[in-house]
Amino acid sequence: MKGLVNYVRAPLLLQGNPSYWMIYFASLLSHFIIDGFKSLFWIKARNKLLLFFVDQVLHGIVILALVNHYTPFEKSFWQTFQMIYKPVILLFLLFSILVTVVSGIIIKQILTYLNLKAQCSSNKNTGTYIGILERLLIFICIVSGFYEGIGYLLAAKSIFRFGDLTKVGHRSMTEYVLIGTLLSFTSAILWSLLYLYLHKNLTNLDVLINQSK
C-alpha cells in the first residue's frame, strides 16, 4: 500500500516535465510485473529469503537501466559507477560471500562427514543464519582491527549455548555445537587473514601503478 501511494504521489513531483513520464510509467509497469511474479512463486517457494533478494535485485536492475537511459548529468551513469568499481571493493564483496555462504557449505559437509547432527526441535535454518552472522561479525572485527570483538562474540555465544546444552543433555549435541563453533570461527579467521594479505598487496599494486603513470 505504501508503494502504491508513492506511485500515485510521484506525478506531482514530475512538475509536468514530459521527459520524466516515460521513466515513471516504465518503473510503474516493471514494479507490478516483478511483484506479480513474486506473488505467484511466494506461496510455493521453499526459500522465501532468496526470492525476496531476487525481487530486490530485479528492481535495482530496472532502476539502473532507467537511470542509464536518461540522466540529466554531464557524466554518464556508468562512468560514475566505475568510480566505485575497484578491485579492493570487489575483493571485499568476494570474501564476504566466502566467509558467510561458502564457509557454511564447507562446515555442513564436514559435520555430515563426521556424522554429527543437531538434535533439537528448533528450525534447522536457525543455526545456519547464526553461523552466517557470527562469521560476518568476525570478518568485520578482524578487517577493522577490533580483535576484542571476537572474544566478546565467543563469550556471548558460549553463555547462550550453555543453557541449550544443559537442557538437551546429549553428548552428540555438545560435540555438534563445539565442533561447529570451532569450525565457524576458524574459517572466518582464516578467510579474514587471507583477505588482509590480498588487500595489502592490491593496495601496494595500486600505488605502484599510480607512480608509474
pLDDT at 78: 53
pLDDT at 113 over 60: yes
pLDDT at 88 over 60: yes
- Residue pair 55/34 in contact (Cβ under 8 Å)? The answer is yes
Torsion angles phi and psi, residue 117, rounded to 5: -135, 150
Mean pLDDT: which of 12-21, 64-73, 74-83, 130-139 is highest? 130-139
pLDDT at 41 over 80: no
**Global pTM value:** 0.59
SS (H, E, C) 107-130: HHHHHHHCCCCCCCCCCHHHHHHH
Percent over 70 (pLDDT), the chain: 62
Could you report how far apart the first and last alpha carbons of the chain are, in Å?
Answer: 54
| Distance in angstroms (rounded) separating the CA atoms of residues 84 and 79 | 9
Question: Quick count: other Cβ atoms within 10 Å of Cβ 170?
Answer: 12
The average pLDDT across 21-30 equals 75
pLDDT at 74: 44
Structural domain spans, the chain: 2-76, 86-212
pLDDT at 7: 47
DSSP letters, the chain, are -HHHHHHHHHHHHHTT-GGGHHHHHHHHHHHHHHHHHHHHHHTT-S-HHHHHHHHHHHHHHHHHHHHHHS--SSS-HHHHHHHH--HHHHHHHHHHHIIIIIHHHHHHHHHHHTT----SSS-HHHHHHHHHHHHHHHHHHHHHT-THHHHHHHHHHHHHHHHHHHHH--HHHHHHHHHHHHHHHHHHHHHHHHHHHHHHHHHHHHHHHHHH-
